[in-house]
Amino acid sequence: MGKRRKPSPPSRARLAVLTTAVAGGAVLASGTAHAEPAPTLASVKEQVDRLNEEAEQAIERFNGFQEKQQKLQGEANRIQEKVARGQEAMNELRTQLGVVGAEQYRNNGIDPGIQLMLDSDPASYLGRAAVQDQVAGSWTDLLKRAQDEQRKLDQERTEAAATLADLDAVGASLNAQKNQIQSKLAQSEALLNKLSAEERAKINAQEAADKAKAAAQQAAAAERAKAADKEAADKAKAAAAAAKETAGKGGTPAPQTAAPQTPAANTPAPAANTPAPVTNTPAPPAAGGRAAAIVQFAYAQLGKPYGWSKTGPSSFDCSGLTGAAYRAANVSLPRTSQEQWKIGTRIGRGDLQPGDLVFFYPDLHHVGVYIGDGKMIHAPRTGKNIEVLPIGVMPYMGAVRP
């Protein structure tokens, strides 16, 4: 038998390949073990919707701070103008006091009795003495006026300082809200950028399907309510005919009771923080008039982009659009949705008329213009355009007719 040959040691190149393969396998195994599951389209949409809602809440707060800042700036300007006028008045008084003081000093250097004795013309002296008395009276009056003006000036300066301090605080809050808005919108955009065009299309299709479903549900509920009203009216008509026939035969008609009101099917129950039911609803607005101007303006904005904190004419946020629509009808609304909720008459959902303001979410951070048939025109959110939307798509809180 020949001698066994010892296996030759692996070359350096082979060792490098083996080492790389083993290390790569270890990394792959480790990566597989700790890999996070890819987010689903539903979870991405949920996060994007949440971030956009939080951004809109911050936008309405921003709008409120901005409106307050504008009012404070106007107040500060008015007070500072008063301070400037007061300072001018004080400067003029000081000049007058200087003149009167110098005259008094010149004339009162010698005792009046001695001056009379030494004067070669006593009548002339007495005339000058009368003038000196007038000067003394003027001095007293000027001093009093100067003291009053100084107190007033000090008060106005204190008021101006307080207003400017409030203005600085509101400006800081404004910047904080702006940073929060930009952060929320950036996070939302980053999530969407991770999606492919196909995935984005699926999300848009889902949103469209949700809108169509809400519209169909509202139409069905309206048909059921219409049918219930017709049934109640038919029963009342039949009862009236029966009573008339009985009376014609000489009988005593049975007492009639009002037909019970049948609620519309699938009418949503009031959500938490939903305002109490409305009573004494005012009559619908006349055709043509204010309501028509509001709705026509809202229709004319369809397709324009949402712009946060914008009030037109090229872009709007939700309360900016409603405020502009009412301005078209010569009605002034507050800047934010929460403040717009506080004016006018509350309207029940069944009594909505075109031109009414409709509000959403428990904190009322979204508002639109009702246009009839269960729909509104609203400015949705960043990245979207002004659109028509069924009011059932979002958590409905109530309506106001300013």
DSSP state at residue 233: H
Q: Is 366 a catalytic residue?
A: yes
> Which candidate in 366, 375, 381, 401 is catalytic?
366
Amino acid, res. 43: S
**Sheet of 357-360, strands arranged across:** 345-347, 396-401, 357-360, 366-372, 375-378, 387-390
For 3, which DSSP code?
A: P
Is 235 noted as a catalytic residue in this protein?
no
User: 192, 200 in Cβ contact below 8 A?
Assistant: yes
Catalytic site residue 365?
Answer: no
Q: Say how far apart CA 234 and CA 211 lie, in whole Å.
A: 35
Q: Which one of the listed residues 51, 318, 358, 371 is annotated catalytic?
A: 318
Tokens of 166: 């409030």
Side-chain-side CA neighbours of 340 within 13 Å: the count stands at 33
Strand 396-401 relative to strand 387-390, pairing: unpaired
CB 283 within 8 A of CB 345: no
The runs of H, that is alpha helices, within 194-288 are: 197-248
Q: Pick the catalytic residue: 61, 378, 381, 401?
A: 378
Between CA 300 and CA 384 the distance in angstroms is: 16
Q: Taking a C-beta distance cutoff of 8 angstroms, is the pair 395, 360 a contact?
A: yes
Contact in structure between 69 and 170 (CB atoms under 8 Å): yes
Distance of CA 15 to the CA centre of its chain: 69
Catalytic residues: 318, 366, 378
